[in-house]
Amino acid sequence: MAQASNAPAELPTEEELGRAGLKLAVEGHVARITISRPERRNAMTGRTWRTLAHIGHALPEDVRIVVLSGEGDTFSAGIDLQMFTPEGVDGEKSMVAGILEGTSTDQDVEDYVEELQQGFLWLRRPDLVTVAAVRGHAIGAGFQLALSCDIRILGDDAKFTMKEPALGLVPDLTGTKPLVDIVGVHRAIEICLTARRVEAAEARELGLAELVVPADELPGAVDDVVAALLATNPEAATATKALLQQAARNTLEEQAAAERRAQVGRLRALASALGAQQ
Ligand code: ACO
């Protein structure tokens, strides 16, 4: 997983962000990333995901919250379908050209997908809380991007679709694990293998949305959640997210031990703050 410690010093330039179809605003503890290719319903390319990974590496250390949204009334129509043509998109490598030409080995293809996955993996970092603010369609890679975030807040016009199997593909941008973790394997099979739309109300019922609000109230609802997240202690928030992330794979005994270990650090920090006051 991407770590802040190997950070390049600089965030992507405006020009790099523009070519990737992204906008970025960092203000204090909050970074807001907007997928911005409205004329393509915010479809994303390899460049989008490499630039997302770059942002993750280069965020200032005091950023605690990342909010991801789409320009206008669509989150994202998923991968730019031109990525599957031999020509690719706008100077961006095609997903299939190397295979068609016989120059890509299986390992080359895996390496390429691994590179793209980096744009999604960093959103799980325990020192950040990542929030997807979703209006309209979140299809394929767009759904997987929302699934990569810790919290999904939906406008009531939001619709999730895992379109990949309908296109002859598997979802490969790190979305299958959170989907199964949230809805269970049987519902995940049904959602993916029918490639049907999951509308906002059902997403709320399934646990795919933490909150659903009228679409025009989405920015305000996101701001309220961000304010509440910022009100907690940053180190405790990081330690708690790390604990919660391991809970599902730990036995009760392992999790209890992890809680004890994490609390030692927290109590030491509290004691040293008390000591400094005396
Ligand atoms: N890639 C490239 N261009 C796209 C994409 C996409 N994924 N989605 C939309 N566009 C383009 C359309 O081609 C159209 O371009 P044009 O104006 O030059 O004709 C423009 O965006 C607007 O799209 P419409 O289809 O006219 O918009 P509408 O609101 O009717 O429908 C919807 C929106 C539902 C998102 C539809 O465009 C769609 O189904 N897109 C394809 C979704 C898809 O299959 N994504 C890939 C999933 S798999 C994965 O992500 C790995």
Q: How far is CA 128 from each of CA 64, 67, 149, 229, 245, rounded to the nearest angstrom? A: 5, 10, 10, 10, 13
Cβ of 113 less than 6 Å from ligand 1 = no
List strand residue ranges (DSSP E) for 80-200, in order. Answer: 129-134, 137-139, 151-155, 159-161, 197-199
Mean model confidence pLDDT for the chain: 95
Cβ of 140 less than 6 Å from ligand 1 = yes
Cβ of 244 less than 6 Å from ligand 1 = no
Nearest CA to 190 out of 179, 177, 174, 178 is that of 179
The residue-averaged pLDDT of 10-34 equals 98
| pLDDT over 90 at 91, yes or no | no
Cβ of 77 less than 6 Å from ligand 1 = yes
Q: What is the ipTM of this complex?
A: 0.98
Cβ of 79 less than 6 Å from ligand 1 = yes
pLDDT level of residue 93 (50, 70, 90 thresholds): confident
What's the half-sphere exposure (Cβ side, CA atoms, 13 Å) at 63? Answer: 23
| Structural domains in the chain plus CATH codes | 14-231 (3.90.226.10), 236-277 (1.10.12)
pLDDT on residue 6? 53
The residue-averaged pLDDT of 241-262 equals 98
Q: Between residues 192 and 3, which one has the greater pLDDT?
A: 192
- pLDDT per residue over 127-145, tens digit each? 999 999 999 999 999 999 9
pLDDT on residue 78? 98
Q: Ligand 1 centroid to 142 CA: how many Å?
A: 12
Q: Ligand 1 centroid to 85 CA: how many Å?
A: 15
| pLDDT over 70 at 42, yes or no | yes
- pLDDT per residue over 100-113, tens digit each? 899 999 999 999 99
Name the residue at shortest CA distance from atom 45 of ligand 1: 78
The residue-averaged pLDDT of 34-57 equals 97
The C-alpha atoms of residue 135 and residue 222 are separated, in whole angstroms, by 12
Cβ of 41 less than 6 Å from ligand 1 = yes
pLDDT on residue 136? 98
Name the residue at shortest CA distance from atom 13 of ligand 1: 40
CB atoms within 10 A of CB 125: 21
